[in-house]
């Protein structure tokens, strides 16, 4: 349930001036929820790739970018790079280990579990204070400093009408993916017909998501309002 604001500390460590876009994926952070749309109840990788394609069309329509993704984002950028290699200058995948494989014979059980989850509904845990959210983040990642957790907590959560704080993500993200997926059949999206493209798995230059060498900036999900490196976020510990 991560958010784009987590890239702030990476931006702090960059040398030179970079234009960095770190969006919240749909259903995470400050984006809308699929459940708010009639008939929608989940999130699918084709939607993520279309969102990324739209971001690149907006921010870099005429030039390839340095593209970085972490975890789920790492899987998304690998899929995208295999489909549109001409859009990528360099590709960095952090802990995107690929999609979990399942077999066709598992489909009936997975579809049944998915339908049961839709009926049951899902809620994310709430917390008494935003400070409790920060403590939860530190529990998940003991290496996260108190100051950084306090900086991230307001991006990770939102305050409800009763005063409690809820994680800023659609509970639908916790639904099981019912579709069978096998990576054993044929070449992957980074297949032989695209290997001549500029995106090469494993090439990393320590730069950042959707980065081009321009005036530095960080974006926390509100696309028109990037945070420049010379703006100090509250709660930073360095």
Residue 18 sits in which domain range? 1-99+198-238
Residues 151-164: what's their mean pLDDT?
93
**92 strand-pairing partners:** 68
154 found inside a domain: no
Residues 170-195: what's their mean pLDDT?
60
187 found inside a domain: no
Backbone angles phi and psi of 17, in degrees to 5: -105, 125
104 found inside a domain: no
- Residues 18 and 208: beta-carbon distance below 8 Å: yes
- Residues 10 and 210: beta-carbon distance below 8 Å: no
20 found inside a domain: yes
105 found inside a domain: no
- How far apart are the two ends of the chain, measured CA to CA in Å? 25
pLDDT band at 183 (very low <50, low <70, confident <90, very high): low
Residue 113 has pLDDT above 80, yes or no: yes
Verdict on whether the full-model pTM lies above 0.75: no
pLDDT band at 188 (very low <50, low <70, confident <90, very high): very low
170 found inside a domain: no
**212 strand-pairing partners:** 19
Tokens 């929820």 correspond to: 33
**233 strand-pairing partners:** none
119 found inside a domain: no
Residues 143-169: what's their mean pLDDT?
93
**Structural domains in the chain (count):** 1
Residue 134 has pLDDT above 90, yes or no: yes
14 found inside a domain: yes
């Amino acid at each position: 349930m991560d958010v784009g604001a987590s890239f702030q500390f990476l931006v702090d460590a960059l040398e030179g001036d970079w234009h960095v876009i770190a969006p919240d994926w749909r259903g995470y952070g400050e984006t809308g929820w699929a459940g708010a749309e009639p008939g929608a109840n989940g999130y699918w990788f084709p939607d993520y790739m279309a969102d990324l394609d739209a971001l690149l069309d907006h921010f870099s329509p005429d030039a390839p970018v340095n593209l970085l993704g972490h975890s789920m984002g790492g899987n998304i950028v690998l899929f995208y790079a295999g489909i549109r290699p001409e859009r990528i200058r360099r590709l960095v995948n952090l802990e995107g280990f690929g999609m979990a494989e399942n077999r066709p014979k598992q489909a009936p059980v997975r579809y049944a579990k998915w339908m049961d989850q839709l009926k049951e509904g899902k809620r994310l845990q709430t917390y008494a204070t935003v400070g409790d959210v920060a403590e939860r983040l530190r529990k998940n990642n003991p290496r996260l400093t108190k100051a950084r957790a306090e900086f991230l907590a307001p991006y990770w959560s939102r305050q409800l009408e009763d005063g409690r704080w809820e994680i800023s993500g659609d509970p639908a993200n916790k639904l099981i993916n019912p579709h069978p997926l096998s990576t054993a059949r044929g070449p992957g999206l980074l297949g032989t017909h695209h290997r001549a493209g500029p995106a090469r798995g494993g090439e990393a230059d320590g730069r950042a998501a959707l980065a081009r060498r321009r005036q530095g900036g960080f974006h926390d999900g509100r696309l028109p309002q990037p945070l420049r490196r010379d703006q100090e976020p509250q709660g930073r510990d360095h």
